[in-house]
Structure 1
Amino acid sequence: MTSIRQFLKTFYEWAKTLALVLLVAFLVRYFVLQPFVVEGSSMEPTLHSKQYVLVDKLNYRVRPPKRGEIIVFRFPGSPSLNYIKRIVGLPGETVEIKSGRVYINNNLLTEPYLNGNKTLISENLTTNFQKTIEPNEYFVLGDNRSHSSDSREWGVFPQTNIIGRAFLSVYPFDMAGLIAVPSYAF
Protein backbone atom coordinates (compact mmCIF):
# COMPACT_ATOMS: atom_id res chain seq x y z
CA MET A 1 0.00 0.00 0.00
CA THR A 2 2.82 2.38 0.84
CA SER A 3 4.55 1.74 -2.50
CA ILE A 4 1.32 2.54 -4.40
CA ARG A 5 0.86 5.71 -2.40
CA GLN A 6 4.50 6.68 -3.03
CA PHE A 7 4.07 5.95 -6.75
CA LEU A 8 0.91 8.09 -6.95
CA LYS A 9 2.61 10.93 -5.09
CA THR A 10 5.60 10.80 -7.44
CA PHE A 11 3.30 10.56 -10.48
CA TYR A 12 1.30 13.56 -9.25
CA GLU A 13 4.49 15.64 -8.81
CA TRP A 14 5.70 14.72 -12.30
CA ALA A 15 2.27 15.53 -13.78
CA LYS A 16 2.26 18.95 -12.07
CA THR A 17 5.75 19.69 -13.38
CA LEU A 18 4.84 18.58 -16.90
CA ALA A 19 1.65 20.68 -16.85
CA LEU A 20 3.63 23.73 -15.71
CA VAL A 21 6.26 23.20 -18.42
CA LEU A 22 3.55 22.87 -21.08
CA LEU A 23 1.78 25.99 -19.81
CA VAL A 24 5.01 28.02 -19.91
CA ALA A 25 5.82 26.69 -23.41
CA PHE A 26 2.32 27.61 -24.60
CA LEU A 27 2.56 31.13 -23.16
CA VAL A 28 6.03 31.70 -24.63
CA ARG A 29 4.96 30.41 -28.06
CA TYR A 30 1.81 32.51 -28.30
CA PHE A 31 2.85 35.71 -26.54
CA VAL A 32 6.67 36.00 -26.59
CA LEU A 33 8.49 34.09 -29.36
CA GLN A 34 7.29 32.43 -32.52
CA PRO A 35 9.32 30.30 -34.93
CA PHE A 36 8.91 31.15 -38.60
CA VAL A 37 10.14 29.40 -41.75
CA VAL A 38 11.07 31.65 -44.67
CA GLU A 39 9.34 30.55 -47.89
CA GLY A 40 10.69 31.68 -51.23
CA SER A 41 13.52 33.95 -52.33
CA SER A 42 12.01 37.40 -51.66
CA MET A 43 14.36 38.16 -48.74
CA GLU A 44 17.62 37.01 -50.34
CA PRO A 45 20.48 37.64 -49.78
CA THR A 46 19.56 38.32 -46.13
CA LEU A 47 17.31 35.31 -45.56
CA HIS A 48 16.91 32.21 -47.70
CA SER A 49 14.07 29.82 -48.40
CA LYS A 50 13.63 27.18 -45.65
CA GLN A 51 15.65 29.27 -43.18
CA TYR A 52 14.21 29.24 -39.65
CA VAL A 53 14.00 32.48 -37.67
CA LEU A 54 12.64 33.46 -34.28
CA VAL A 55 10.11 36.27 -34.11
CA ASP A 56 9.93 38.58 -31.07
CA LYS A 57 6.24 39.22 -30.42
CA LEU A 58 6.72 41.53 -27.40
CA ASN A 59 8.98 44.29 -28.73
CA TYR A 60 6.31 46.26 -30.59
CA ARG A 61 4.09 46.39 -27.53
CA VAL A 62 6.57 48.83 -25.95
CA ARG A 63 7.94 50.65 -29.01
CA PRO A 64 6.96 51.21 -32.65
CA PRO A 65 8.62 49.29 -35.49
CA LYS A 66 11.75 50.86 -36.98
CA ARG A 67 12.94 51.19 -40.54
CA GLY A 68 15.18 48.34 -41.60
CA GLU A 69 13.70 45.76 -39.24
CA ILE A 70 12.56 42.51 -40.76
CA ILE A 71 9.04 41.67 -39.67
CA VAL A 72 6.56 38.82 -39.94
CA PHE A 73 3.02 40.02 -40.56
CA ARG A 74 -0.40 38.87 -41.68
CA PHE A 75 -0.75 39.43 -45.42
CA PRO A 76 -3.35 42.19 -46.00
CA GLY A 77 -5.12 40.28 -48.80
CA SER A 78 -5.41 37.04 -46.82
CA PRO A 79 -4.82 37.35 -43.06
CA SER A 80 -4.31 33.58 -42.73
CA LEU A 81 -1.01 33.95 -44.65
CA ASN A 82 2.12 35.22 -42.91
CA TYR A 83 4.76 37.14 -44.89
CA ILE A 84 8.26 38.27 -44.00
CA LYS A 85 9.64 41.57 -45.36
CA ARG A 86 11.77 44.57 -44.39
CA ILE A 87 10.17 47.80 -43.14
CA VAL A 88 11.09 50.64 -45.50
CA GLY A 89 8.43 53.30 -44.93
CA LEU A 90 7.10 54.50 -41.58
CA PRO A 91 3.86 56.31 -40.66
CA GLY A 92 3.74 59.89 -41.94
CA GLU A 93 6.53 59.41 -44.50
CA THR A 94 6.34 59.64 -48.26
CA VAL A 95 7.91 56.67 -50.05
CA GLU A 96 8.91 57.28 -53.64
CA ILE A 97 10.47 54.93 -56.14
CA LYS A 98 12.26 56.68 -59.01
CA SER A 99 14.53 55.02 -61.57
CA GLY A 100 14.70 51.89 -59.46
CA ARG A 101 15.75 53.70 -56.27
CA VAL A 102 13.83 54.17 -53.02
CA TYR A 103 13.44 57.65 -51.54
CA ILE A 104 11.97 58.51 -48.15
CA ASN A 105 10.76 62.14 -47.94
CA ASN A 106 13.01 62.94 -50.95
CA ASN A 107 16.09 61.34 -49.30
CA LEU A 108 17.73 58.41 -51.08
CA LEU A 109 17.52 55.30 -48.91
CA THR A 110 20.90 53.59 -48.67
CA GLU A 111 20.36 49.84 -48.43
CA PRO A 112 23.55 47.93 -47.58
CA TYR A 113 21.63 44.66 -47.14
CA LEU A 114 21.00 44.48 -50.90
CA ASN A 115 24.55 43.14 -51.24
CA GLY A 116 25.63 45.31 -54.12
CA ASN A 117 22.46 44.75 -56.16
CA LYS A 118 21.86 48.39 -57.03
CA THR A 119 19.16 47.58 -59.60
CA LEU A 120 16.64 47.80 -56.83
CA ILE A 121 13.30 47.63 -58.58
CA SER A 122 12.55 45.69 -61.73
CA GLU A 123 10.82 47.61 -64.50
CA ASN A 124 7.80 45.27 -64.61
CA LEU A 125 6.82 45.95 -60.97
CA THR A 126 7.17 49.70 -60.61
CA THR A 127 9.01 52.33 -62.57
CA ASN A 128 7.73 55.35 -60.66
CA PHE A 129 5.71 55.18 -57.49
CA GLN A 130 4.78 57.53 -54.66
CA LYS A 131 2.79 56.88 -51.49
CA THR A 132 2.33 58.91 -48.32
CA ILE A 133 1.86 56.51 -45.43
CA GLU A 134 -0.99 57.08 -43.00
CA PRO A 135 -0.64 56.84 -39.19
CA ASN A 136 -0.13 53.27 -37.94
CA GLU A 137 0.62 51.97 -41.45
CA TYR A 138 3.85 50.52 -42.86
CA PHE A 139 5.45 50.08 -46.27
CA VAL A 140 7.58 46.95 -46.70
CA LEU A 141 9.84 45.56 -49.42
CA GLY A 142 11.61 42.27 -49.92
CA ASP A 143 15.39 42.43 -50.17
CA ASN A 144 15.27 40.54 -53.49
CA ARG A 145 13.31 43.32 -55.19
CA SER A 146 12.87 41.60 -58.55
CA HIS A 147 11.33 38.50 -56.90
CA SER A 148 9.18 39.96 -54.13
CA SER A 149 5.47 40.52 -53.70
CA ASP A 150 5.39 43.50 -51.35
CA SER A 151 3.91 46.96 -50.73
CA ARG A 152 4.59 47.95 -54.34
CA GLU A 153 1.88 45.47 -55.37
CA TRP A 154 -0.60 45.35 -52.50
CA GLY A 155 0.07 48.59 -50.65
CA VAL A 156 0.61 49.46 -47.02
CA PHE A 157 -0.91 47.63 -44.06
CA PRO A 158 -1.82 48.51 -40.46
CA GLN A 159 0.47 47.89 -37.50
CA THR A 160 -2.16 45.49 -36.14
CA ASN A 161 -1.12 43.04 -38.90
CA ILE A 162 2.43 42.85 -37.55
CA ILE A 163 3.14 39.64 -35.63
CA GLY A 164 6.65 40.61 -34.61
CA ARG A 165 10.28 41.29 -35.47
CA ALA A 166 12.49 38.54 -36.87
CA PHE A 167 15.61 38.89 -34.75
CA LEU A 168 17.43 35.55 -34.76
CA SER A 169 18.21 33.01 -37.45
CA VAL A 170 18.36 29.54 -35.91
CA TYR A 171 18.62 27.13 -38.85
CA PRO A 172 20.54 26.15 -40.91
CA PHE A 173 23.18 26.29 -38.25
CA ASP A 174 25.83 27.83 -40.52
CA MET A 175 23.48 30.84 -40.93
CA ALA A 176 22.52 31.07 -37.25
CA GLY A 177 22.90 34.42 -35.53
CA LEU A 178 21.30 37.77 -34.87
CA ILE A 179 19.60 39.42 -37.83
CA ALA A 180 21.25 42.80 -38.38
CA VAL A 181 19.23 46.00 -38.56
CA PRO A 182 20.93 48.76 -40.56
CA SER A 183 21.18 52.31 -39.27
CA TYR A 184 20.08 55.20 -41.44
CA ALA A 185 21.13 58.84 -41.67
CA PHE A 186 17.51 60.01 -41.33
Structure 2
Amino acid sequence: MRRQHDATAEGAAAAQQASGRRSALWDIAETLLLALILFIAIRGVVLNYRVDGSSMEPTLHNGEMLIVNRRAYMHVRLAPLVGWIPGVDVDEDAVWYPFGPPKRGDIVVFQPPGNSAEPYVKRIIALPGEHVAIRNGAVYINGQRLIEPYLSEPTLWRGMTLDHEYVVEPGHVFVMGDNRNNSSDSRVFGAVPLASIVGKAWVTYWPPDEVQVLSTPAYAFQ
Protein backbone atom coordinates (compact mmCIF):
# COMPACT_ATOMS: atom_id res chain seq x y z
CA MET A 1 0.00 0.00 0.00
CA ARG A 2 2.84 2.36 0.85
CA ARG A 3 4.50 1.77 -2.53
CA GLN A 4 1.18 2.42 -4.26
CA HIS A 5 0.74 5.65 -2.28
CA ASP A 6 4.28 6.78 -3.16
CA ALA A 7 3.68 6.05 -6.85
CA THR A 8 0.45 8.01 -6.76
CA ALA A 9 2.18 10.95 -5.08
CA GLU A 10 5.02 10.88 -7.60
CA GLY A 11 2.52 10.82 -10.47
CA ALA A 12 0.66 13.78 -9.03
CA ALA A 13 3.92 15.70 -8.58
CA ALA A 14 4.97 14.95 -12.16
CA ALA A 15 1.59 16.07 -13.46
CA GLN A 16 1.84 19.25 -11.42
CA GLN A 17 5.33 19.95 -12.79
CA ALA A 18 4.13 19.37 -16.36
CA SER A 19 1.18 21.68 -15.75
CA GLY A 20 3.56 24.29 -14.33
CA ARG A 21 5.80 24.05 -17.38
CA ARG A 22 2.81 24.46 -19.70
CA SER A 23 1.65 27.46 -17.68
CA ALA A 24 5.12 29.03 -17.82
CA LEU A 25 5.35 28.46 -21.57
CA TRP A 26 1.90 29.98 -22.03
CA ASP A 27 2.91 33.02 -19.95
CA ILE A 28 6.01 33.47 -22.11
CA ALA A 29 3.95 33.15 -25.30
CA GLU A 30 1.44 35.72 -24.01
CA THR A 31 4.25 38.12 -23.12
CA LEU A 32 5.89 37.75 -26.53
CA LEU A 33 2.56 38.22 -28.31
CA LEU A 34 1.79 41.34 -26.28
CA ALA A 35 5.27 42.71 -27.00
CA LEU A 36 4.76 42.07 -30.73
CA ILE A 37 1.38 43.82 -30.71
CA LEU A 38 2.84 46.81 -28.84
CA PHE A 39 5.80 46.96 -31.24
CA ILE A 40 3.51 46.97 -34.29
CA ALA A 41 1.26 49.61 -32.71
CA ILE A 42 4.19 51.85 -31.79
CA ARG A 43 5.79 51.50 -35.22
CA GLY A 44 2.49 52.57 -36.71
CA VAL A 45 2.77 55.87 -34.82
CA VAL A 46 6.50 56.63 -34.63
CA LEU A 47 9.68 55.57 -36.35
CA ASN A 48 13.35 56.33 -35.92
CA TYR A 49 15.34 58.15 -38.59
CA ARG A 50 19.07 58.72 -38.97
CA VAL A 51 20.19 62.10 -40.30
CA ASP A 52 22.45 61.60 -43.30
CA GLY A 53 24.50 64.62 -44.29
CA SER A 54 24.79 68.24 -43.24
CA SER A 55 21.85 69.83 -45.07
CA MET A 56 19.97 70.62 -41.83
CA GLU A 57 22.86 72.07 -39.84
CA PRO A 58 23.02 73.75 -37.39
CA THR A 59 19.65 72.34 -36.27
CA LEU A 60 20.40 68.68 -37.07
CA HIS A 61 23.79 67.05 -37.50
CA ASN A 62 25.02 64.10 -39.50
CA GLY A 63 24.43 60.81 -37.68
CA GLU A 64 21.84 62.13 -35.22
CA MET A 65 18.86 59.89 -34.54
CA LEU A 66 15.33 61.29 -34.64
CA ILE A 67 11.93 60.09 -33.51
CA VAL A 68 9.41 60.86 -36.24
CA ASN A 69 5.67 61.14 -35.58
CA ARG A 70 3.99 59.34 -38.46
CA ARG A 71 0.48 60.42 -37.38
CA ALA A 72 1.18 64.14 -36.92
CA TYR A 73 -0.58 64.98 -40.19
CA MET A 74 -3.24 62.30 -40.09
CA HIS A 75 -6.26 63.63 -41.96
CA VAL A 76 -9.76 62.69 -43.01
CA ARG A 77 -11.57 63.66 -46.20
CA LEU A 78 -14.73 65.50 -45.23
CA ALA A 79 -16.84 64.89 -48.34
CA PRO A 80 -17.57 61.19 -47.61
CA LEU A 81 -18.36 62.02 -43.98
CA VAL A 82 -20.73 64.97 -44.26
CA GLY A 83 -21.34 65.44 -47.98
CA TRP A 84 -24.46 63.28 -47.82
CA ILE A 85 -26.17 65.59 -45.29
CA PRO A 86 -28.85 67.74 -46.99
CA GLY A 87 -27.82 71.38 -47.21
CA VAL A 88 -24.13 70.69 -46.44
CA ASP A 89 -21.88 71.68 -49.31
CA VAL A 90 -18.31 70.39 -48.89
CA ASP A 91 -15.50 70.66 -51.41
CA GLU A 92 -14.38 67.27 -52.71
CA ASP A 93 -10.79 68.00 -51.71
CA ALA A 94 -11.57 69.35 -48.22
CA VAL A 95 -9.75 67.52 -45.42
CA TRP A 96 -9.71 67.71 -41.63
CA TYR A 97 -6.47 67.40 -39.64
CA PRO A 98 -7.26 66.28 -36.05
CA PHE A 99 -3.77 67.28 -34.87
CA GLY A 100 -3.33 70.24 -37.20
CA PRO A 101 -2.08 70.53 -40.79
CA PRO A 102 1.57 70.93 -41.80
CA LYS A 103 2.88 74.31 -40.66
CA ARG A 104 5.65 76.59 -41.78
CA GLY A 105 8.78 75.68 -39.85
CA ASP A 106 7.88 72.04 -39.24
CA ILE A 107 10.80 69.68 -39.82
CA VAL A 108 9.53 66.75 -41.88
CA VAL A 109 10.81 63.46 -43.20
CA PHE A 110 9.55 62.74 -46.71
CA GLN A 111 10.12 60.61 -49.76
CA PRO A 112 11.78 62.87 -52.34
CA PRO A 113 10.88 62.87 -56.02
CA GLY A 114 12.93 60.56 -58.20
CA ASN A 115 14.48 57.22 -57.44
CA SER A 116 16.01 57.91 -54.03
CA ALA A 117 15.50 54.96 -51.71
CA GLU A 118 16.20 57.04 -48.60
CA PRO A 119 13.81 59.68 -47.22
CA TYR A 120 15.01 63.28 -46.81
CA VAL A 121 14.62 65.56 -43.81
CA LYS A 122 13.96 69.28 -44.45
CA ARG A 123 12.00 72.22 -43.08
CA ILE A 124 8.67 73.41 -44.49
CA ILE A 125 9.11 76.97 -45.74
CA ALA A 126 5.98 77.62 -47.80
CA LEU A 127 2.47 76.18 -47.81
CA PRO A 128 0.01 75.31 -50.59
CA GLY A 129 -0.89 78.26 -52.77
CA GLU A 130 1.86 80.54 -51.43
CA HIS A 131 4.21 82.52 -53.64
CA VAL A 132 7.90 81.94 -52.87
CA ALA A 133 10.65 84.26 -54.05
CA ILE A 134 14.36 84.49 -53.26
CA ARG A 135 15.79 87.98 -53.59
CA ASN A 136 19.04 89.42 -52.28
CA GLY A 137 19.75 86.31 -50.24
CA ALA A 138 16.39 86.27 -48.44
CA VAL A 139 13.17 84.24 -48.77
CA TYR A 140 9.95 86.11 -49.49
CA ILE A 141 6.50 84.61 -48.94
CA ASN A 142 3.67 86.39 -50.75
CA GLY A 143 5.88 89.46 -51.10
CA GLN A 144 6.99 89.62 -47.44
CA ARG A 145 10.48 88.79 -46.26
CA LEU A 146 10.59 85.71 -44.01
CA ILE A 147 12.88 86.11 -40.98
CA GLU A 148 14.60 82.77 -40.32
CA PRO A 149 16.60 82.86 -37.05
CA TYR A 150 18.29 79.48 -37.63
CA LEU A 151 20.14 80.55 -40.80
CA SER A 152 23.81 81.48 -40.80
CA GLU A 153 24.16 82.56 -44.45
CA PRO A 154 22.12 84.15 -47.25
CA THR A 155 19.78 81.96 -49.27
CA LEU A 156 20.67 81.33 -52.89
CA TRP A 157 18.58 79.61 -55.55
CA ARG A 158 20.30 76.45 -56.77
CA GLY A 159 23.65 77.99 -55.93
CA MET A 160 23.00 81.11 -58.05
CA THR A 161 22.46 84.70 -56.99
CA LEU A 162 19.74 85.27 -59.59
CA ASP A 163 16.23 86.07 -58.41
CA HIS A 164 13.74 83.21 -58.70
CA GLU A 165 10.07 82.73 -57.91
CA TYR A 166 7.80 79.74 -57.36
CA VAL A 167 4.09 79.20 -56.65
CA VAL A 168 3.40 76.18 -54.44
CA GLU A 169 0.82 73.86 -55.96
CA PRO A 170 -2.27 72.75 -54.00
CA GLY A 171 -1.56 69.69 -51.90
CA HIS A 172 2.20 70.45 -51.78
CA VAL A 173 4.72 72.18 -49.52
CA PHE A 174 7.98 73.94 -50.34
CA VAL A 175 10.89 72.62 -48.24
CA MET A 176 14.48 73.72 -47.71
CA GLY A 177 17.40 72.67 -45.55
CA ASP A 178 18.67 74.92 -42.75
CA ASN A 179 22.18 74.64 -44.19
CA ARG A 180 20.66 76.60 -46.98
CA ASN A 181 23.37 76.43 -49.62
CA ASN A 182 24.39 72.84 -48.99
CA SER A 183 20.97 71.28 -49.46
CA SER A 184 19.12 69.56 -52.27
CA ASP A 185 15.53 70.62 -51.70
CA SER A 186 12.51 72.25 -53.36
CA ARG A 187 14.80 74.70 -55.14
CA VAL A 188 16.03 71.65 -57.07
CA PHE A 189 13.13 69.19 -57.29
CA GLY A 190 10.12 71.44 -56.68
CA ALA A 191 7.41 71.31 -54.05
CA VAL A 192 6.78 68.06 -52.18
CA PRO A 193 3.35 66.39 -52.27
CA LEU A 194 1.75 66.13 -48.85
CA ALA A 195 1.20 62.45 -49.59
CA SER A 196 5.00 61.98 -49.73
CA ILE A 197 5.52 63.16 -46.14
CA VAL A 198 6.43 60.24 -43.88
CA GLY A 199 6.02 62.22 -40.68
CA LYS A 200 7.03 65.18 -38.54
CA ALA A 201 10.39 65.08 -36.79
CA TRP A 202 9.61 65.23 -33.08
CA VAL A 203 12.79 64.81 -31.03
CA THR A 204 16.47 63.94 -31.39
CA TYR A 205 17.50 61.17 -29.01
CA TRP A 206 21.08 60.32 -30.03
CA PRO A 207 23.78 61.22 -29.22
CA PRO A 208 22.71 61.95 -25.63
CA ASP A 209 24.32 65.40 -25.54
CA GLU A 210 22.25 66.46 -28.57
CA VAL A 211 18.82 65.48 -27.21
CA GLN A 212 16.24 68.15 -28.03
CA VAL A 213 12.56 68.59 -28.83
CA LEU A 214 12.19 69.97 -32.35
CA SER A 215 9.73 72.80 -31.89
CA THR A 216 8.28 74.89 -34.71
CA PRO A 217 9.75 78.43 -34.69
CA ALA A 218 7.61 81.54 -34.44
CA TYR A 219 8.25 83.47 -37.65
CA ALA A 220 8.20 87.17 -38.32
CA PHE A 221 7.78 88.93 -41.66
CA GLN A 222 9.15 92.22 -42.91
Count of residues in Structure 1 that have an aligned counterpart in Structure 2 = 183
Taking the TM superposition and a 5 Å limit, the aligned residue runs for 1:38-117 are 38-61=51-74, 62=98, 63-78=100-115, 80-114=117-151, 117=152
- Percent identity between the aligned chains? 40
Post-superposition CA distance 1:8-54 (Å, at most 9, x none): 1111112111111111112211x211100000000000000000010
Where does residue 37 of structure 1 map in the other structure?
Answer: 50
| Structure 1 position 66, deviation (Å) | 0.3
> Structure 1 residue 14 and structure 2 residue 28: aligned?
yes
Post-superposition CA distance 1:126-167 (Å, at most 9, x none): 632111111110100000011100000010121000011101
The answer to whether the 8 A contact 1:141-1:150 is kept is: yes
Structure 2, gaps ≥5 residues long: 1-14, 75-97
Instruction: State how far apart, in whole Å, the 1-side matches of 2:200 and 2:209 are.
Output: 21
Structure 1, gaps ≥5 residues long: none
In structure 2, the CA distance between the partners of 1:78 and 1:125, relative to structure 1 (3 Å rule), is: farther
In structure 2, the CA distance between the partners of 1:182 and 1:64, relative to structure 1 (3 Å rule), is: same
| Structure 1 position 180, deviation (Å) | 2.5
- Higher-RCO chain (CA-CA 8 Å, sequence separation at least 6): 1
Instruction: State how far apart, in whole Å, the 1-side matches of 2:56 and 2:134 are.
Output: 19
Aligned letter for 2:136? Answer: S
Secondary structure of the corresponding residue to residue 138 of structure 1: strand
Instruction: State how far apart, in whole Å, the 1-side matches of 2:69 and 2:176 are.
Output: 20
In structure 2, the CA distance between the partners of 1:71 and 1:125, relative to structure 1 (3 Å rule), is: farther
- Alignment RMSD (CA, Å): 1.5
| Structure 1 position 124, deviation (Å) | 2.5
Where does residue 83 of structure 2 map in the other structure?
Answer: none
Instruction: State how far apart, in whole Å, the 2-side matches of 1:64 and 1:122 are.
Output: 27
The answer to whether the 8 A contact 2:134-2:165 is kept is: yes
Where does residue 137 of structure 1 map in the other structure?
Answer: 172
Post-superposition CA distance 1:98-137 (Å, at most 9, x none): 12210000110110111xx132227734632111111110
Q: Given the alignment, which residue of 19, 35, 41 partners 1:27? A: 41
Q: Which segments of structure 1 move beyond 4 Å, counting only runs of 4 or more?
A: none
Aligned letter for 2:55? Answer: S
Instruction: State how far apart, in whole Å, the 2-side matches of 1:176 and 1:76 are.
Output: 30
Larger CA Rg, structure 1 vs 2: 2
